[in-house]
Amino acid sequence: MRRSLLCLVLLPLLVVAQTPSKKLDSYVLMPEPSALKNVNSRALGGGQKTVLSPAREVAEAPGVKLYTPEEFAKLGISVDTFTERAKAAADARLASLSPDFIKDESGKTRYAVYRGDSSLIASLIVAPSLGKLVSKLLGGDLWAVLPDRHSLYLFPANPELVAEFGDDLQQRYNTDPYAASCEIFLIKQGEAPRAIASFND
């Protein structure tokens, strides 16, 4: 009887011990204000205020660590190669997530948003399949906004709708210690994101 009870107590512990830990992503392109750029940063979509900086996922807060130029050099790859790997990694992350679709009173979808505790959400902007996933529900081209690392908003290409959320987006960008971008990016299927405006003007 004692042996049976002991097995019942230890079995869950063994299962937990054998569960593999989540593999941390080594290839992340982190959107951040251009004032924070380093030698390996590149402008996001031709934007003037946003860069993509090579980073990696880490277990401790805030969940992401930017590569220093010295750390990046040790990877032994070019920024272009890192970028391609980061796009593939972002696509894989995107496939595992579902956005919240925000609807109006009539049930029509107004916009979609990816958000959560992960500091990698804003980096989904580089995922090649981003536009394809939600454009059918929102209709055609999309405008993407990523005020902080924890959110990515996707709107129909509608200036009035985006303006409606301008104050909230501005506040998120100004108050979050890990602001991502104050720019608005056009998302077209088969094309890289392109900066078209800013809500911080």
Could you tell me what percent of the chain has a pLDDT over 90? 68
Instruction: Evaluate the CA torsion angle 126, 44, 82, 30 in order and state its sign.
Output: negative
Query: Is-contact 190 127, C-beta < 8 A?
Result: no
Alpha-carbon span 152 to 100, nearest angstrom: 11
pLDDT of residue 5: 44
Low-confidence winner among 13-27, 95-109, 178-192 (lowest mean pLDDT): 13-27
Question: C-alpha distances in angstroms, 160 versus 8, 134, 146, 157?
Answer: 60, 20, 18, 9
What is the amino acid identity at position 144?
A: A
Q: Identify which has the larger pLDDT, 139 or 72.
A: 72
Q: Identify which has the larger pLDDT, 7 or 35.
A: 35
pLDDT of residue 23: 87
Instruction: Evaluate the CA torsion angle 24, 25, 30, 36 in order and state its sign.
Output: positive
pLDDT of residue 16: 41
Q: Where are the beta strands (DSSP E) in the chain?
A: 28-33, 42-43, 50-57, 64-66, 100-103, 109-115, 142-145, 151-156, 183-187, 194-198
Confidence check: pLDDT of 138 > 90: no
Q: Identify which has the larger pLDDT, 67 or 188.
A: 67
pLDDT of residue 135: 73
Query: Is-contact 142 187, C-beta < 8 A?
Result: yes
Whether the model pTM is above 0.75: yes
- pLDDT tier for residue 18 given thresholds of 50, 70 and 90: very low
pLDDT of residue 201: 66
Query: Is-contact 148 177, C-beta < 8 A?
Result: no
Alpha-carbon span 49 to 43, nearest angstrom: 8
pLDDT tens for residues 69-99?
Answer: 999 999 999 999 999 999 999 999 999 998 9
Residue listed under structure tokens 């709708």: 161
For the chain, give every domain's residue range: 28-94, 97-198
Q: Identify which has the larger pLDDT, 21 or 18.
A: 21
Considering only the C-alpha atoms of the chain, give the largest distance between any 2 of them, rounded to a whole number of Å. 73
Q: Identify which has the larger pLDDT, 182 or 19.
A: 182
Alpha-carbon span 62 to 177, nearest angstrom: 10
Alpha-carbon span 174 to 163, nearest angstrom: 17
